[in-house]
Amino acid sequence: MLKLFTPRSLISTVRCTARAYSAPVKSLTVDGKTYPSDEWTNIPPFILDLIQRKLHKNPDHPIGILHDLVKKSMNGMGYTIYDEFHPIVTKFQNFDVLGFPEDHPGRSKSDTYYFNKEHLLRTHTSAHEHECFQDCKTPGYLITADVYRKDEIDRTHYPAFHQLEGARYWSRLEPNYLEKIQQDIDSIPKTNIIVEDPFRDQPITENNPKQTYMTPEEVRLVATHLKKTIEYLVNQVFENARESAKKAGSTEPYLNEPLKVRWVEAYFPWTGPSWEIEVWWKGEWLECCGCGIVQRQVLLNSQLGEDKISWAFGIGLDRIAMLLFGIPDIRLFWSLDERFHKQFKRGEISTFAPYSKYPGVKRDVSFWLPSESTLHCNDVMEIVRSHAGDMAESVEVVDEFVHPKTGRKSQCYRINYQSMERNLTNQEINVIHGNVENDLTTRFDVEIR
């Protein structure tokens, strides 16, 4: 089956210095800390480069603008803000403490970037729930951070993106705590969102059971507070976008329609029951956020005591920012091109105006695979990216067959090299493409045809 991968920005002009793909390194040093390598190490240099970018801390970048808008919307509602956490965390923080089963696919080397057996790039902001529950002095907290996943790359997926985590807890030892939760629900500002939620009054279902330590009424109240908080947040963000669009003179019909969201059941190892919210935006349901009632074990692991009940959510910021700013490709967020950055200013939601592209140079690489080959499409993609940096516009499998007599397998990948700054010369592409072929041969033992 042909599978299309389009790695790296269509429009970005970052020129990563070409460095060889992780020829076995003894250790990796980041921000003064050294991580000895082992058989788990799988972080390519281009991912290491992204760690330093901290887009959510840049007030003039769409991700930073959205982050600031969220902070402003939640100000005064009892949430401590955390946005300085380093992206390198332990396996314990990212998985174990949250109760991920040992065989959960998220733990695998093909899903997660590992420095070594113990250290990895966080795959979600939930990796900091444990420490925030321990540290925070307010009833809740918000975490914004860059997260990393070995994902395929296309318009809405990139191996680095951003999440906003929120959590809130109550103590059952507080007198009249159920009334207190109801008051907290009532104090969330009203929205005129249209909500489809078959589970609002009956949050517990066969597929989405409650934890035994909670009563149905506690679940109903905590879930209602959770959902109203997310609806409020989503409403704030989208209302802001609408206002900006109207100010900019847009007359699109959706600007006058009320925002519509729906709740669906979900599963996360550290929450139960769990849900996701989807937002109806320009004719499509868009998955925005996972959430649920925090498993008691996570609260106990954080030494919060036996009396707490709590919710948590995690929103993907990049996809929301794409909608708000009309950004057609998630890779653009990582562009260093002035023509991208000069379009955005702190506190303002403006609509992105695309700029032109230079033509690309297509090159094919065909090879025979060794019989026990472990080569994965993602490996080819990462090799190309490590030599071409952001000039790697796309990589796709264009041909694949098994020789009828010898049984050998052959593959052909087509690579499109492209720069936004200038026309590329054949000569420079020859050098880069030659390095790609070399790397494939030495690392995966393929025979170039």
Site of interaction with ligand FA5 (CB under 6 A): 124, 126, 149, 151, 157-158, 161, 163, 165, 268, 271, 287-292, 312-314, 316, 318-319
SS3 55: helix
Residue placing its CB nearer to ligand FA5 in the complex, 316 or 360: 316
Q: How far is the CB of 179 from ligand FA5 (least distance, A)?
A: 26
3-state secondary structure of 321: helix
7 or 292: CB nearest ligand FA5: 292
Residue nearest to ligand FA5 (CB): 316
Closest CA to 160 of 301, 299, 286, 332: 332
Q: How far is the CB of 166 from ligand FA5 (least distance, A)?
A: 8
Rounded to an integer, what distance in angstroms lies between the CA atom of residue 329 and that of residue 241?
18
Task: Give the number of other Cβ atoms within 10 Å of residue 190's Cβ.
Answer: 10
CA distance 316 to 310: 21
Residue 370 φ then ψ, to 5°? -65, 160
Per-residue contact string for residues 130-169; x = within reach of Mg ion by CB under 5 A: ----------------------------------------
Q: Which is nearer to ligand FA5, 227 or 319 (CB)?
A: 319
CA distance 264 to 173: 32
Least separation in angstroms between residue 159's CB and ligand FA5 is: 7
- Written as six digits, the tokens of 115 are 């420095």
Applying CB under 5 A, what is the total number of residues that bind Mg ion? 1
Give which of Mg ion, ligand FA5, none residue 391 binds (C-beta under 5 to 8 Å, depending on kind): none
Least distance (Å) between residue 446 CB and ligand FA5: 28
User: How are beta strands 140-148 and 79-82 bridged, if at all?
Assistant: parallel
Q: Indicate the DSSP class of residue 52.
A: T
Distance between CA atoms of residues 134 and 82, nearest Å: 13
Shortest distance in whole angstroms from residue 40 CB to ligand FA5: 21
Residue 390 interacting entry, from Mg ion, ligand FA5, none, C-beta within 5 to 8 Å by type: none
CA dist 48 and 95 (Å) reads 21
- Residue 434 structure tokens: 């030659």
Instruction: Tell me whether residue 128 or residue 363 sits nearer to ligand FA5 (CB atom).
Output: 128
Nearest distance from C-beta of residue 214 to ligand FA5, angstroms: 16
Query: Under DSSP, is residue 106 helix (H, G, I), strand (E, B) or coil?
Result: helix
Show the binding pattern over residues 273-312: x = contacts Mg ion (CB under 5 A), - = does not.
Answer: -----------------x----------------------
Tell me which of Mg ion, ligand FA5, none is bound by residue 14, counting a contact when its beta carbon lies within the kind-specific cut-off of 5 to 8 angstroms: none
- Which token pair is 267? 């599963």
Region of residue 347 (left: phi > 0; alpha: psi -120 to 50; beta: else): left
| Residues ≥6 apart with Cβ < 8 Å to 372 | none
Query: What do you get for the CA distance between the two ends of the chain, in Å?
Result: 21
What is the closest distance, in whole angstroms, from the C-beta atom of residue 215 to ligand FA5 in the complex?
21
Least Å distance, CB 172 to ligand FA5, is: 21
Q: Which is nearer to ligand FA5, 35 or 325 (CB)?
A: 325
DSSP annotation of 424: P
Q: How far apart are CA 121 and CA 238, in angstroms?
A: 30
What the block records as the tokens of 161 is 């993106």
CA distances for 162 relative to 30, 292, 315, 318, angstroms = 20, 19, 8, 6
163 binds, among ligand FA5, Mg ion, none (CB under 5 to 8 A by kind): ligand FA5
Which residue number, 62 or 292, has a Cβ lying nearer to ligand FA5? 292
158 binds, among Mg ion, ligand FA5, none (CB under 5 to 8 A by kind): ligand FA5
Looking at beta carbons only, is 275 or 325 nearer to Mg ion? Answer: 275
Q: Which residues, other chains included, contact 52 with Cβ-Cβ below 8 Å and sequence gap of 6+?
A: none
Beta-carbon count within 10 A of 121 CB? 26
Query: Which lies closer to Mg ion via its Cβ, residue 125 or residue 301?
Result: 125
Q: Give 290 or 389: the residue with its C-beta nearer to Mg ion.
A: 290
The least distance separating ligand FA5 from the CB of residue 232, rounded to whole angstroms, comes to 17
To ligand FA5, the closest distance from the beta carbon of 101 in angstroms equals 15
Least distance (Å) between residue 430 CB and ligand FA5: 33
By Cβ distance, which residue is nearest to Mg ion?
290
Q: Are 62 and 333 in contact (CB under 8 A)?
A: yes
Q: Which option in Mg ion, ligand FA5, none does residue 85 bind, with CB closer than 5 to 8 A by kind?
A: none
162 binds, among ligand FA5, Mg ion, none (CB under 5 to 8 A by kind): none
CB closer to ligand FA5 out of 157 and 409: 157
Asked if residue 5 lies in contact with residue 396, where contact means CB atoms within 8 angstroms, the answer is yes
CB closer to Mg ion out of 288 and 309:
288
DSSP state of 340: H
Q: Which residues bind Mg ion (CB under 5 A)?
A: 290
